[in-house]
Amino acid sequence: MVTPKEHIEEIRKNKFSIGKDPNPLIEDLHQAVKNLSVELYTKDVHFLMELIQNAEDNLYSKGVKPSLEFIITSKDITATGAPATLLIFNNEKGFSPKNIESVCSVGRSTKKGNRSSGYIGEKGIGFKSVFLVTTQPYIFSNGYQIRFNEKPCPQCGLGYIVPEWIEEKPTLQDIKKIYGGGVDLLPTTTIVLPLKPDKVTPVKLQLSNFHPEVLLFLAKIRHLSECSYYMWKQKFPVRLENVVERRKDVEEWVVTLAFPHQDRLNRGMSSSGVYAFLPTEMVTNFPFIIQADFVLASSRETILMDDKWNRGILKCVPTAFVDSFKTLILGSDQAPVSTLANMFKFIPIRSSPYEKLNYVREKIKEKLLEENIIPIETYKKQKHFCKSHEVGRLLPEFWNVLNDAQAEGIQLDNLSYGKRKILSSALDMSQYDGILEFLGVEHVKARWYAKCIQSSNFVDRLSEKLYLKLLLFIATNWDSFFGESNMTDIPLLKYLAVIYANFLYHSFSKNYISSFEVDALCESMPIVDKYGNVNESRNKVLVPARVSNWAKLMVSNPWVNQNYVEMGEVYLNRSTYAGQSTDHQKLIEFMTDHLGASDIPDLYPPNAGFSAADTRLTKENAFLFLRWIKNQNSKLGGIPQRFLECIKNGSWLKVTVNGWMPPSKSFLIESSLGKTLESCSSLVDIPLVDETFYGSRIHHYKKELQTVGVMLSYEEACEFIGKELMHRAENYNLSRNRVILMLEFIKCQRERVLPLDKFVNSIKKGKWLKTSLGLRSPKGSVLYDEEWKIASQISAIRFIDRTYFGKEIYNFKEELMLLGVIVGFSRNYQVVIDHLKLPSNFASLNAEAFLLLMECVKFSSASVELVNSIKTASCLKTNMGFKVPGDCFLSDPVWGCILEVFGGLPVIDKKFFGERIFSYKGELKQIGVVVDFEEAIKEFVGQFKQKASDDSFSQQHVKSFLSCHRLLKGTEYKFPADLLATVRSEKWLLTRIGGYSVPRDCILDGVSWKSISSITCLPFIDDSDNCYGTEIHEYKEELKSFGVVTELKDRVKFVLKYLNFPSDPSSIAPESVFSFLECIRLLLKGAVSPHDEAFRKRLSTNWLKTHDGYRSPDQCVLFDSKWESAKWVHAKECVIHDTDNLFASKFYVLEDIYDKKILPFFSLKMEVRTKPSVDDYVNLWNEWESSVEQLSYDKCHKFWLFMLHHFTLHTEKKLSERFLKLPATSGNNDIFLLEKKDVFIPDNLHLKRLFEMEKVFVWYPQNLVPSSRNDLSDLYRKIGARSVSECICTEYPSLPNVVELKQIDAANVCNVKVLVKLILGFLACSSLKMEPNKRHEAVKGLLNLSFFEIKDSINGKQNGSLGESKFNVFTQMNWHGENAGLVKYATYFSEAISEGVLMENHDHVALLSELIRLAFLLKFNEEAIDFLMDSKNLQIFCEDDDFLSSVFGSTSIYVTIYLFYYF
């Protein structure tokens, strides 16, 4: 371990490059340090504050009482020439190596990030502030003896932070002489500051003015002078919106208010009123000090007012002040009111020079005005407090009268009249005027004095001297105060009502009248109230206040408005009437028995509240209250609701925390459970009824306490704790410690088998648990463990924040489970699914992450959302890297070889995922992976075709493919037809003749091919070493299955294509010729003639040996003995075939005469025609025209099918000129040959049905497909037949002369805009390809369609002639508007529109009509029509859009088309 001196040398060498090359950043560091010291600290005092702060943050040994001492001496112990030296002594543990390195740096404080550990410093510049008063500070600590210099170091050019080791000037002996005592008695750390000449006086002044308040809020340095403070400390959870980086580890604000006693009460008006552990320079004008962990300005003079952290603290100050003030004022039930007045001086009535603090002041005022904090005068032991607006002040002269009256023995039980209460005399003094004005307390009006004098019976009870003093008070203030009041109404005579009461009392006591008669008389007896008024009607009567319990409890009658009358004091005066003396006690008893005057606890209250219910009751009054409740419970009517609610919600019951609370928020729990709840006070303040205050007697009133809302069950208390915690959580985030305490509480209750449900249910839904996604409710949150590791990689599950809670959270697994937290994975896939968040890069994940995804897919039954999210992620590791599932293949152990033939397919990495991947075939398929043989083959087919087309089929590909095919043989995986077709049709096999060939064009060489090979150049598969090698022969069966020729019997097609006779025919062996002729035979057996011209040319060489040498086949004859009896004819008289059997009478058909083997010879060498020509068929038809009238179906059918198949432009002209007749048919299917002009094509079904029995329509073969029928119709038309529709003329009636028209809304028939759009698309995109301007002109007539309705039908006339016959046909021309006629309606509607639009393009009417008819049936629905246009490849162009936009709505064109329907 290095010594302190060696450590300093290392710093100088390694950090400041002393002895090394100069550091180019040295000058920048020097300037940074200089700026930091000069700019941030503007006053000399700050170096003292920083040193005190450092001392507070330092560590101290156990048992050491922290101390900080300052000594200033004129001795120059540093030999620097300083006029004075300041020494600072601190008994801390001393500088560590890290502390030394920190002080040799800029901004590297060892206290950063430790606010929660009690450190109050944060800037990392504290020590450097000493440079404001010295140029060379010295540090002596733990063996370190170093000096710093303001001037740049000669070796490195840097000042302020470069340490120098000091051996002398000063030494420890020099310092000891100043401090006194031995060296061993010196504090661990000494700082020596030789002062600058101009700083000596300011430093001495600051030290002499040093106030003990500086140390007020320090936790370690606690030596204070004679002064005392009321200290109030309150914690507030840090709100999320106020968190700042430098305080991110702090969970609670601790706001401390210091209220000074005695002489220091006014120090806050002139000295610092804001502390951040040490005082700032902020004079607040508040009579108390605010201390908190404020963020300071750089100068440390002020706090940063706009900093959100500080704003959050300042918002807590009003609450802290009001809570502390209430505790001071209301906290002591024994202290007399007179001792409380001084406390009101803590109220900040003076405005502050800081705007933000004025906001605090206004908030304090606002809160105080809502609190019952003003003491009132009751002349009772029970203290009462009211809101400031409910209290009034008295004139000082009247206070003198009241005080004198009390001195004479006159009881002043109640000074409250009406709603206005009287301020306590202890506070109603001129020295409190400013405070009372701030709180809004005003003087009472004159009317109050009249009420007071009247009710107090001053006229009767005051001595003469005091009576004169009262009159003097009234007279003195008459003009200014009482002149306009009701003072003149004060009665001065005895009341007759009182005499009447005495009369009844004596009459009853002497038995002059009966009890029944007394009761009846008392019902109407008038009562004198406390104000001297005579009341004849009342609801209830209260006994006089002076002899009552109710006045002890409530001071004044709160139910005047409910007509509760308080008997006046006059009933208590001893009096004599008619010689009879009356004792006031007996008179009150008489009034109670017969008049119904009552007192607590017998008094029955109205259904109304009263202010005393919100008063902190003494013990006696509290029990009086409870006796009252007990008494009312026993009555038949029960307790009035509003009265009961007032008692429930009033703060009159003393509890163990916060003084007094409403019964509805208080608890009385059995003692052992109560102690358990008291242990939870660190969680929330639990208001247990204070049994120490009330004693065991309180348990006698459990039923009454329960009546007024006190909770007696442990479950209710637990629920209260939970709700209170959740209420806090709504406004503040619960600290870590509080959450741990909650869990400990649950654990404790669980272990003691105490009821937990209400507490758990009250907190499980609140958002208070810190998770990876912020504050969330426990329900659904997850406690992380290793089982969740994989899940965390693919989801954003809200895990409980382990960093925040630490390992301690794992001690509460069962408690967390009770709250709904998920503990342990336990196949909880739904959580993963609900929070799925796939990473952008799966390369960093292991196989388990993907396998977990597959488990989720299995669990969710293939949730569409889950599957789609996986489909788009590159989550599968393959032999080609990570790919999306849709690109991947799962290699099967059996058929997987097919995926390896070419490579290039992303096959799932089996080594990476292991065998488990095969257990998820179904899930992989759902996300798009190819797992089935059939799907893999489809991809393989594409690859196969691509390789073949690119000529990139390598030898290895071929062998791999053939090997795979062999492996699959005998398995359930068969090559499908499309693959086989591809393999057989693509060129992928190399042959010896060069290039790739399809299998069927390839031969696998063998011995059997030797005989034919001498006259051919055959495509043998290249089995040379440079290609497939001899190994290819091992795959003979596989190649054969793909079409490769392996047997000689399959040689025919190759002989034709690859025939190659040698130049020397003598080398051709007979075996080769026979083998070749065998090929020809096989070819002929297949009914195929070798007509290939190249083949013929090759055959024309001399290769057949004859008696005349070698000749070509066409020069050779193979003589047959049958030829001796044959007839010789010319070749022109022959045909080889007569397929239709129509020419037996015209030609010799050789296939009927000769062996089929010789037929090719006639064709090739004798030029005999293979079959009859078109001209032959034309001649045949002309022959039939002149010789027959009817044809058989067979002949006609064969003839016209031939014509249909051989019809060309040349044929068309020939048939049109030479055919005079066409086949016609009637209803009996006979076929007649008629003149072309008399035969018609039936294009009108209506007319076809009319004339189908006549011989007027052309004949069609039976079962002819529509397309062929149309082709035959075109053929007839081109030859000369006419369409029947061309022969018809339609006549329409003149509409206006026939019927009466009623126009209807066009929208009920069709959408004209949609109709026009459809027609424009047809005109633009059909074969018409009409120009924009022409198609716009064509549809203009449709822009204003009109529709009319009639009642009767209209018939049209059609006339024409068919051949020799003329006819007239009458047709109904309008249609019923019901569904039955809808198709007809649509048909005629579409025809009418189409004919109108296409007047010059009549050939396209039928196509457009069909399109409009379909649109009509679709009701011209715009969306449906758009789809119809898309399906027909119709569209409109920008010119059409402009046209539609411009014309619709325009009235420039008016065209009416009449379309009718009747109803």
pLDDT at 222: 46
Tokens found for residue 629: 């409740």
449-453, 648-652, 1383-1387, 1449-1453: range with highest mean pLDDT: 648-652
Residue 542 tokens read as 């209260």
Query: Is the model more confident about 150 or about 474?
Result: 150
Q: Among 132-141, 1122-1131, 1303-1312, where is mean pLDDT lowest?
A: 1122-1131
For the chain, give the percent of residues with pLDDT over 70: 85
Note the pLDDT of residue 193. Answer: 95
pLDDT tens readout for residues 1212-1223: 888 888 899 999
Mean pLDDT for the stretch of residues 440-456: 79
pLDDT above 90: percentage of residues in the chain: 26
278 vs 360 pLDDT, higher one: 360
pLDDT in tens, 1263-1291: 877 778 888 888 888 888 888 777 766 55
- Residue 218: band (very low, low, confident or very high) from pLDDT cuts 50, 70, 90: low
Strands (E), 1192-1264: 1221-1225, 1231-1235, 1240-1241, 1257-1258
Listed residue (312, 267, 305) closest to 285, CA to CA: 267
The whole-number pLDDT of residue 246 equals 82
CA 211 centroid distance within chain: 56
By C-alpha distance, which of 561, 559, 489, 571 is closest to 526?
571
pLDDT above 80 (res 594): yes
At 165, the pLDDT band (50, 70, 90 cuts) reads very high
* φ, ψ for residue 256, nearest 5 deg: -115, 130
441 or 227, higher pLDDT: 441
Strand pairing report for 1134-1135 and 1240-1241: unpaired
- Mean pLDDT across the stretch 973-986? 91
Please tell me whether the peptide bond between 170 and the residue prior to it is cis, using omega within 30 degrees of 0: yes
In this structure, what token pair is assigned to residue 1247? Answer: 């007319």
d(CA 1267, CA 1270): 5
Query: Quick check: 189 pLDDT over 80?
Result: yes
395 pLDDT exceeds 70? yes
pLDDT digits (tens, 9 = 90+) for 224-260: 333 467 888 888 888 888 888 888 878 889 898 888 8
pLDDT computed for residue 1358 by the predictor: 56
Q: How many Cβ atoms are within 10 Å of 621's Cβ, its own excluded?
A: 21
- Pairing state of beta strands 1375-1376 and 1458-1462? parallel
pLDDT value, residue 23 = 65
> How many angstroms separate the CA atoms of 344 and 385, rounded?
14
pTM over 0.85: no
What pLDDT score does 118 carry? Answer: 42
Question: For residue 1370, what pLDDT is reported?
Answer: 46
CB hemisphere CA count around 842 (13 angstroms): 25
Peptide bond into 839 cis (omega under 30): no
Kindly report, residue by residue over 1291-1332, the tens digit of the pLDDT: 555 555 555 667 777 777 788 888 888 888 888 887 778 888
Q: Does the pLDDT of residue 1202 top 80, yes or no?
A: yes
pLDDT tens profile 800-856: 999 889 999 999 999 999 999 999 998 889 999 999 988 888 887 889 999 999 999
Give the pLDDT confidence score for residue 1008 in this predicted structure. 67
Tokens 């080609």, residue? 880
Q: What is the pLDDT of residue 1072?
A: 82
Q: Which of 86-95, 926-935, 1357-1366, 1451-1460 has the lowest mean pLDDT?
A: 1451-1460
> What is residue 39's predicted lDDT score, i.e. its pLDDT?
52
Nearest to 116 by CA among 745, 988, 736, 895: 736
pLDDT surpasses 80 at 787: yes
Q: Euclidean distance between the first and final Cα of the chain, in Å?
A: 116
Q: Is the pLDDT of residue 89 over 70?
A: yes
Return the pLDDT at 1458: 42
Q: What H or E segment, with its residue span, contains residue 285?
A: none
The residue behind tokens 């610092």 is 272
Q: What is the DSSP letter of 247?
A: G
Count of other CB atoms within 10 angstroms of residue 812:
22
pLDDT of residue 1372: 47
DSSP track, 843-874: GGS-HHHHHHHHHHHHHTTS-HHHHHHHHTS-
pLDDT at site 224: 36
pLDDT higher than threshold 50 for residue 114: no
Average pLDDT over residues 154-163: 86
pLDDT range class, residue 890, cuts 50, 70, 90: very high
Over range 788-794, report the average pLDDT: 91
Q: Are 1461 and 1375 spatial neighbours (Cβ–Cβ below 8 Å)?
A: yes
Distance of CA 443 to the CA centre of its chain: 60
Digit-coded pLDDT (tens) for 365-387:
999 999 988 998 887 777 888 89
On the question of pLDDT at 139 being above 90, the answer is yes
Determine the Cα–Cα distance for residues 1296 and 974; give it in Å rounded to an integer.
78
Quick one: residue 1434, left, alpha or beta (phi over 0 = left, psi -120 to 50 = alpha)?
beta
pLDDT band at 1374 (very low <50, low <70, confident <90, very high): low
The predicted model gives 21-38 an average pLDDT of 65
Does position 1386 have pLDDT exceeding 70, yes or no? yes
Please report the pLDDT score of residue 485 as a whole number. Answer: 67
Q: Write the pLDDT tens digit of every residue in 485-507.
A: 666 665 544 457 788 888 888 88
Q: Which of 496-505, 1080-1089, 1350-1359 has the lowest mean pLDDT?
A: 1350-1359
pLDDT on residue 683: 72
Q: Give the span between the Cα atoms of 1332 and 1323, in whole angstroms.
A: 9
pLDDT at 1376 over 60: no
pLDDT at 1086: 63
Report pLDDT for 332. Answer: 65
Interstrand relation of 385-386 and 374-375 (parallel, antiparallel or unpaired): antiparallel
